[in-house]
Amino acid sequence: MYQNLLSDSRLYKLLFEIDQDLAAEAKAKGCHCGGRLDSARYRRKPRGLPTELEDQDDYKKRHSLCCAKEGCRCRTTPPSLRFLGRKVYVGAVVVLVAALRHGPTPVRIAKLRKFVGVSVRTVNRWRQWWRLIFVGTPFWKAARGLLRVPLDEQSLPLALLEAFPGHDAQSRLVCLLRFISPLSTSPPRQES
């Protein structure tokens, strides 16, 4: 179910549109100094997109804003559902691949490599990121209290996906990406 989403170009289009909205909201709010925010997007070269989207522009820039006022010039990076902070792979892939219920068997990895070009080492690193790094973030420590039922942190991110109501995998994934989007605003130096 979640695996089919990986290659669904409609999902990636939707996430792009949500990011446009989040950027417009941040721009409308303006800088904390009262100054106007201008677009100052970052170039990104994310991996993991379905092949038919690789040549499109939707994922080549990350929204970012810069204050126009002399002496401030503060940068504001709106939250994103496309990019998960510094990760090279798009956020949806980092969630979906790590959520595969039975972990990375050789056959499954071969399939994933075909879909998203990911290696077993990367998959293991993502699973570790969810279970060791993510659970230690101040974001998660504050946010887990907002969930109705406590989660088994060793089953992340699948347990979190399934904590969201929704009739289908796509709406749960979008909820999850929106929920963790405060984590997406770290500076854009890339890491895998």
By CB under 5 A, name the binding residues for Zn ion.
Answer: 31, 33, 35, 67, 69, 72, 74
Return the half-sphere exposure (C-beta side, CA atoms, 13 A cut-off) of residue 179. 22
Q: Return the C-alpha torsion angle 40, 86, 24, 55, nearest 10.
A: 80
CB of 37 or CB of 118, closer to Zn ion: 37
What single DSSP character describes residue 47?
A: B
Cα dihedral: 95, 51, 7, 165 (round 10) = 50
Comparison of 74 and 142: residue with beta carbon closer to Zn ion: 74
Minimum Å gap between C-beta 178 and Zn ion is: 26
What per-residue string of b and e applies to 29-58 under the rule 16 or more CB within 10 Å gives b? Answer: ebbeeebebeeeeeebebbbbeeebeeeeb
Least Å from the CB of residue 35 to Zn ion:
4
CB count, 10 Å around CB of 14? Answer: 16
Which of residues 33 and 142 has its CB atom nearest to Zn ion in the complex? 33
* Closest distance to Zn ion from the beta carbon of 79 (Å): 19
Q: How far is the CB of 183 from Zn ion (least distance, A)?
A: 24
At its nearest, how many Å lie between Zn ion and the CB of residue 75? Answer: 9
d(CA 163, CA 161) in angstroms, rounded, equals 5
Q: Looking at beta carbons only, is 60 or 73 nearer to Zn ion?
A: 73
In this complex, which beta carbon is closest to Zn ion, that of residue 61 or of residue 73?
Answer: 73
